[in-house]
Amino acid sequence: MNISLLRTCCIAALLLILTACSPKPEFKNIDITGSTAFGKDFSLVDPDGKARTLADFKGKVVVMFFGYTQCPDVCPTTLTEMQQVMTILGSKSDKVQVLFVTVDPQRDTAAILKQYVPAFDPRFLGLRPEDDVALEKVAKDFKIYYKKVPGISPGSYTIDHTAGSYAFDPEGRLRLYIKHAQGPETLAHDLKELLK
């Protein structure tokens, strides 16, 4: 056996050992690790008018949810569930950032987001696109669906929208698509895996 072949075999064996020592996390949600087709970054405005990107939250697990403050069911349920997740995580919750991105920037003003989102947990942050073009861009980038459904009056519309969330690891890599309404224990399990 020549030295080159022996070296190649040793390197391959070492890689197998290292892979076995660091098992892949067992997520309960949909693992989209390595996806490059969407969800790379965003530029949205916080309630104080500051532009925010994913880099602002480096070192934290980021859970990103799209919705609107007048949503009658999915949005308050999701935010309540996330508040319960933070309670389950205890001190680890300080390493988690929940972002609520409005798909209704016409009604969800900075003042409304500043009041509504932190009512569920003071650490939660509401973000908004500056205009319809920015909303279309972030929706396309994250492959989320939203559509106005007319109401009785022009201002009383509802919005059908994607109900799932996304989770990024502390390095800013998109890792999970989180299905709606699984219960806080399931999501807390996955966030703990991302925090390891």
112-163 tens-digit pLDDT: 999 999 999 999 999 999 998 999 999 999 999 999 999 898 888 999 999 9
Measured distance CA(162)–CA(141) in Å, rounded: 14
- Tell me if 21 is assigned to a ligand binding site: no
Mean pLDDT for 18-43 is 78
Q: Cβ neighbours of residue 99 under 8 Å, at least 6 residues apart?
A: 57, 62, 63, 64, 65, 124, 125, 126, 127
How many structural domains compose the chain?
Answer: 1
Whether 5 is covered by a domain: the verdict is no
Which residue range forms the structural domain that includes residue 170? Answer: 25-195
Contact 192, 92 (CB under 8 A): yes
- Tell me if 75 is assigned to a ligand binding site: yes
- Tell me if 71 is assigned to a ligand binding site: yes
Whether 2 is covered by a domain: the verdict is no
Identify the three-state secondary structure at position 121.
coil
Whether 13 is covered by a domain: the verdict is no
Whether 129 is covered by a domain: the verdict is yes
Identify the three-state secondary structure at position 105.
coil
- The CATH number given to whatever domain includes residue 35 is 3.40.30.10
Whether 66 is covered by a domain: the verdict is yes
Whether 112 is covered by a domain: the verdict is yes
Q: How many residues does the chain have?
A: 196
Whether 8 is covered by a domain: the verdict is no
